Amino acid sequence: MTAGTAGTAVTAQAPGAHAADAAAQAAREAVFDAAVAADERIEPRDWMPEAYRASLVRQIAQHAHSEIIGMQPEANWITRAPSLRRKAILMAKVQDEAGHGLYLYSAAETLGVSRDELLDKLHTGRQKYSSIFNYPTLTWADVGAIGWLVDGAAITNQVPLCRCSYGPYARAMVRVCKEESFHQRQGYEALLALSRGTEAQHAMAQDAVDRWWWPSLMMFGPPDDESTHTAQAMAWKIKRHSNDELRQRFVDIAAPQAETLGLTLPDPDLKWNEERGHYDFGPIDWAEFWDVLKGNGPCNDQRINQRRRAHEDGAWVREAAAAYARKHTGQHGEAQA
């Protein structure tokens, strides 16, 4: 909160200092740096470096887009879920994801961009979403594997973001993480039911885990020595841990869970390393990662096309709602005049 107060104080002097001189600029930077160093939250009205703002817009928007695109691979199974209980769980989950998208777009809007602008960037490929959603859901077990692995990886990434230096993002993450961990447990439970079910169900679960394991590890982003944004994001306390640290943390949690599930992970090099106190694991296929990121994954075109189509097909609905609102605020205004 000190950041807010101090920031406001500096802003209050701003009108007097029309041509902000170097000293005022340095003072603002010092206040910002001190707030970040003291683990205080930066709030929307606080002064912040333009690069900090841009970096947050990029990250929060990409996060919001991932929630929205991430609805598709799971919604693919809503109409085919094998029991009414599973259908209800899946519907509720996809609904939550739309809700997470809404929180995150709101958080991004506090930085001075609009949801429409961000959606436009998604639709035109100028902003990205998580590479994981470019993989197809081919069987029902994929829904369980996504819950366990993809949501598990997302939570590992997002829990530290609850302490992110930007207040609105951190607060959105608190809400998102609560719901995500709920989904993750449900995904794990769905896979467990399959693993302990018939032979065909067990095989279905194993096949899904085989296909989703490596893409889930890729969700943590490129290795630390190739991650362009990490150093600055960590200095600003947007990120708290490096990609490789989080990836290791996820493997350490998931490996014993796989054993409990009675499923194997598709990595011959995976084994506990007593000395390090961590699991060792095999090399990631970074060529595939970059290829998917560049748009050449199995579902990149399909995902973005569906999103564009929903948006374009819905244009007349949004126009109608806007026209109705104009007419009726108009009438209201006239009535008052």
> Which position among 224, 319, 329, 332 is part of the footprint of other proteins (CB under 8 A)?
319
Q: With respect to other proteins, which residue has the nearer C-beta, 80 or 271?
A: 80
Count of CB atoms situated within 10 Å of the CB of 175 = 13
Question: Binding segment for other proteins among 37-45, 263-271, 284-292, 316-324 (CB under 8 A)?
Answer: 316-324
Q: How many whole angstroms separate alpha carbon 67 and alpha carbon 101?
A: 5
Query: How many positions of this chain bind other proteins (CB under 8 A)?
Result: 57
CB 195, min distance to other proteins, A: 12
Q: Which is nearer to other proteins, 58 or 311 (CB)?
A: 311
Q: How far is the CB of 313 from other proteins (least distance, A)?
A: 7
The answer to whether residue 179 forms part of the interface with other proteins (CB under 8 A) is: yes
Question: What's the rounded Cα separation, in Å, for the pair 322 and 105?
Answer: 20
Told to check if 54 binds other proteins by CB under 8 A, we report no
Among 24, 27, 78, 162, binds other proteins (CB under 8 A): 78
Nearest approach in angstroms of CB 278 to other proteins is: 31
Is residue 85 part of the contact set for other proteins (CB under 8 A)?
yes
Encoded tokens for 308: 């564009």
* Contact between 114 and other proteins per CB under 8 A: no
Q: Binding to other proteins (CB under 8 A): which residues in 117-146?
A: 140
Confirm or reject binding of residue 63 to other proteins (CB under 8 A): no
Residue 174 touching other proteins (CB under 8 A): no
Shorter beta-carbon distance to other proteins: residue 110 or 201: 201
Query: What sign does the dihedral 127-131-134-136 (CA atoms) show?
Result: negative
Does residue 75 interact with other proteins by CB under 8 A? Answer: yes
- Name which of 170 and 176 has its Cβ closer to other proteins: 176
Choosing from 31, 108, 190, 219, the residue that interacts with other proteins (CB under 8 A) is: 190
Write out the residues near other proteins by the rule CB under 8 A: 68, 71-72, 75, 78-89, 91-96, 98-99, 101-102, 105, 140, 178-179, 182-183, 186, 190, 193-194, 197-198, 200-201, 306, 309-311, 313-324, 327
